Amino acid sequence: MTRTTLRTVTFKKPLVLRDHDEVLPAGTYRVETDEEPISGISFLAYRRTQTILHLLPRHGLRQSLAIDPDDLVAALDRDHAAENHSTPSSEHPVRRPAAREHETQVPRAGNQTEERRQEI
């Protein structure tokens, strides 16, 4: 049995996805991910089978693209980076961890803590 997850992603700048020649406009897109259970193991796990990006309607037509989910993550990271570069230097946006980064707080002597970033 296949399960489908729906979510939305918002791009503040136009985007380009690998394997797609057209520049897509900024906006909020629906993303649909299909997964199927992995059989033959002792716990429930799913394998992603398909990721679909539903494009913004143009001229009354709706289109969808089958995409690589890693390309979507890369496009979101580029959009976020472009947004931070356009922020005035007087504002200091909070850095969010990269998609495969994990933050931990490590106790230090006294009342100080050291922040470490670890690649996962």
- Contact yes or no for 53/65 (Cβ under 8 A): yes
Q: Residue 120's pLDDT is what?
A: 38
Q: Residue 1's pLDDT is what?
A: 84
**Distance in angstroms (rounded) separating the CA atoms of residues 76 and 99:** 10
Q: Exposure of 108 by Cβ count < 10 A (0-12 exposed, 13-18 middle, 19+ buried)?
A: exposed
Q: Residue 86's pLDDT is what?
A: 57
The tens-digit pLDDT sequence of the chain (120 residues) is 899 999 999 999 999 998 888 899 999 999 999 999 999 999 999 999 999 999 988 888 899 999 999 999 999 999 999 877 754 443 433 344 444 333 333 343 444 444 444 443
Q: Residue 6's pLDDT is what?
A: 96
Pairing of strands 3-11, 46-54: unpaired
